[in-house]
Amino acid sequence: MRNNLIAANWKMNGDTASNAALLAGLRLANPNRSCEVVICPPAAYLGQVQALLPEMGFVLGAQDVSAFESGAYTGEVSAAMLRDFGVRYVIVGHSERRKHHAESDELVAQKTKRALAVGITPIVCVGETWAEREAGLAEQTVKRQLAAVIHANGHCISEIVVAYEPVWAIGTGQTATPEVAQQVHALLRAQLRAATERSDRMRILYGGSMNPGNAAQLLAQEDIDGGLVGGASLKGADFLSLVSAAG
């Protein structure tokens, strides 16, 4: 049995006052929920959020991690540094970083490896653009992206979380239908099954404009185990609705 996971990706949003107000509103979340909730603020606010989360029963996540262990890499944040702040999850390979920072499949695989080495669970993002889907390359794209991570991490692959985020549905208001999302999630599950005997316990999240109106249908699919939530995570009532839908 896989418990759902809802991860809030605040992206580059927030300040100390609005962060505190948002988290104060989230204290209304059902303490008896079965799903796990992860909050991923910008790195500058990890300390603030870390101090506020324990009483809420949420866990701390980060939005990125360096591919390097330590050294002369100005501006980078290492996995060990994230662990020092109590970070338990980290997003790697988000489509915005693949696009704006030219992150390759190999770099994403290396970041995954760094996180796993210090006991942080990577949320590995995969997903196709609209052009790739239109060209019939959606399945090939997500399988290639995940294959790089599997190849680099071997038997440790069972310790990751995968997030399918169709690039064309991120921040656009468009959402993959539950049937289309399930089709890709099932494909990824099969790929993981070929790589590890523990695939059935691994969680695969949907990311791409999940909101209170579509969450229940998406989460009802057999291989969708939660959501990586962007815009809706910045609205307290909306995020609480998603947490409730996830159990």
* Cα atoms in the 13 Å half-sphere on the side-chain side of 243: 25
CA dist., res. 172 & res. 151, Å (int)? 32
Predicted pLDDT of residue 176: 84
Choose between 75 and 31: higher pLDDT: 75
Predicted pLDDT of residue 195: 96
How is domain 5-245 classified at the architecture level of CATH?
Answer: Alpha-Beta Barrel (3.20)
CA dist., res. 242 & res. 108, Å (int)? 28
Q: Which residue has the tokens 């509103």?
A: 25
Q: Write out pLDDT tens, residues 183-217.
A: 999 999 999 999 999 999 999 999 988 999 999 99
Domain ranges of the chain: 5-245
Predicted pLDDT of residue 168: 86
Show the beta-strand stretches assigned E in the chain.
5-9, 36-40, 59-62, 89-92, 121-126, 161-164, 204-206, 226-229
Q: Which residues are catalytic?
A: 94, 165
